Structure 1
Amino acid sequence: MASTLMLLLQLLLVSLVSASHFFGGTTTYTYKGRNPDGSFNVEIRDRDTYDGCYYSLYWYCSSGYCGYTSTSQRGTLDSSTSAPLYNRQWCETETVTTRVVQSNRPFEMRAASCCWIPTRTSYWGHYWYLNTLVDLGERSDTGKPNRAPEVAILPFLRVPENCPRTYKLMSFDPDGDKVRCRYGNPGSAECYGCTQHSGFHLHQDSCTLHYQYTNADPLVNSFELVVEDFPQGHISLRYSDGSQSSRSPLSAPTTTTTARTTTPWWWTTGRPLQATSPPLSKLPLQFSFLVDPPAPSCQEGLYLPQFVHPTPAHGQRIHAEVNKEVEIRIKAQASYAAIQDIIMSGPMNMTKHRTTHNEFVLRWTPFSSDLGNYFPVCFAVESATGSAVTSFPGNTHSHNHGTPTSQSGVYQSEMRCVILKVGTEEIKTNVICTESEMRVEVEKSSLRGLREDHLRLSEPSNTLCSLERYSNSTHIIGVIPLNACGTQIEEDEEHLIFKNEITTVDDSGALITRKHNLEVEFYCQYPKKGNVSLGFTAHRTMVEVFDKGFGTFTYQFEFYPDNQFRSIIDPSSYPLEYDVGQKIYMEIDASSIVNDTEMFVESCRASPYDNPNSQPTYSIIEDGCPVDPTVMIHETDNKRQFRFCIEAFKFIGLHDQVYISCSVMMCEAGNPNSRCSQGCINSNNHHHSHRRKRDSAIQTAAHFVSQGPLRLKRSADISMSAGMETQSAS
Structure 2
Amino acid sequence: MLDRFRLHILLQGLTLLMLGPACEASSLGLTVHVVPLNSNGGKTVRAYFSVIAPSPCPSLSGLCAAGEDCLVYTTPLPFTGTKPSDWCVRQWQKTVPSIYNATINLGSKTKFYVSMNAGPKIRANNGRLNHPAFVALPPPLRARVNCPQPFHLSVKDLDGDKVRCRFASSDKGECVSCTQHSFIELNEEKCILSFTGKAPTGQYFIYLMVEDQIPLPRINQVTDSPLSSVPVHLSLTVEESSFTCSDVPVAIDRTPKQDSVLFVLPYQEEKINIDYRSEQESVLELAVVGPPDLYRTGFASVGPLATLAMGWIRSENNLTHLLPICFTANTKSLQSEPRCVWLYQRETRALPAGTELKCGKTEMTLVLPITSLTNINLAELQLNSPTCSVTYNNTHLTANISLNGCGTKTVHSGSELVYTNTLKSVRPYTVISRQPSLILPLACRIPRAQVKGPNFSIGMPTERETFGEFRIWIEVYLPGQGPLADFTKNPKFRTNFRVRREADSGTGSNSTNSISTSEQIGTRLSQLDLYVRSNTTVARADMIVNSCIESETEDFAESRPIVNQGCITSSNNFEIITGQNNTRVYRLNLNTIQTNKTTFYVQCTVNLCISTTPSQSCPDLCTRSGNQSILIGSVFSRTYTVTSGPISLVLTTPAPTMPTTVTTDKTATMITTVTTNATSTPTTVTVTVTATTVNTAGQNTTSNAPEQASSLAAGMILTTFSIFLQKLVFY
Structure 1 length as normaliser, TM-score?
A: 0.49
Structure 2 length as normaliser, TM-score?
A: 0.49
